[in-house]
Amino acid sequence: MASFQDMLQQVFRAAHFPVDEYAPAHWNLDQNMIGELRVLPYIDQWKLALKEKWFHIKMEDHSLFVFNNTTNEPSYQYLQSPLALESFRIFLLKKGLQYNKRNKAEYAADYEFSFDTASLKDNLTPIRYDVDKQAYKAGWHPMAHLHIGLDNGIRIALRRKLSPLAFSLFVMRHMYPESWVRLLPFSDQFKLRRVVRETLHKRPSCSAI
């Protein structure tokens, strides 16, 4: 886990990706956590993962990245925050304050109040990458696929096995385009084309049917 997190952090720093917190380097989801999350509605999944710190990355907007990469059938999730709430950074900037540890500690209670009273977003776009050999059905359920959005049957078939970094860059490009644009000048340094396409292993042809 440490090696892929090191690479994530290097790329994210170049993009000024608004990360608020990283999990400890060797933290992983276990089957008990997965079992608890799977039976919950989306919003309750997000609340539980946030409360228990069951995430690898927490963004400033309270969205979460979770990478279950411990088996041959990985699953990566981007849990978009369901709250219509400005980030702590913006909250402090509106008060004319710098976003630093001292001000975050001093104004934490005020911010938590706005957190507790925030309304839910009208639209949500969580993203999940799954590999599921058992559920494969030709012409209907691809083995490797992306889910985008809530309460729909969207499964976008993928021929290549995504890495945590490739998945994160996909989310960055579509959900945080300002960071993606900042990363483009570093594309040669990080060899983004290789990261997101050329070096990813191909799945069996049935995975993309």
Read off the tokens for 166. Answer: 């490739």
Is residue 108 in some structural domain? no
Domain count, the chain: 1
Is residue 33 in some structural domain? yes
Is residue 47 in some structural domain? yes
CA quadruple 57, 173, 147, 76: dihedral positive or negative?
A: negative
Q: What is the pLDDT along the chain (209 residues), one digit of tens a residue?
A: 445 677 788 899 999 999 999 998 888 888 889 889 989 999 999 999 999 999 999 999 999 999 987 667 788 999 999 999 999 999 999 999 999 999 999 999 999 888 888 999 989 999 999 887 665 556 556 677 888 998 887 888 887 788 888 899 999 999 999 999 998 888 776 677 666 665 666 655 544 44
Is residue 199 in some structural domain? yes
Is residue 105 in some structural domain? no
What is the strand order of the sheet 127-131 is part of?
Answer: 19-22, 57-59, 64-68, 75-79, 127-131, 144-148, 156-157
Q: Which residues in the chain belong to E strands, given as ranges?
A: 19-22, 57-59, 64-68, 75-79, 127-131, 144-148, 156-157
Q: Element (H or E) spanning 4, and its range?
A: helix 2-15
State the residue range of the domain holding 46.
2-84+119-208
pLDDT at 125: 95
| Beta partners for residue 67, in sequence order | 76
Is residue 97 in some structural domain? no
103: number of Cβ within 10 Å: 15
pLDDT at 26: 81
Tell me which DSSP letter residue 197 carries. Answer: I
pLDDT at 2: 47
Is residue 92 in some structural domain? no
pLDDT at 54: 95
Is residue 72 in some structural domain? yes
- For residues 109, 112, 117, 120, the Cα torsion angle rounded to the nearest 10 degrees is 170
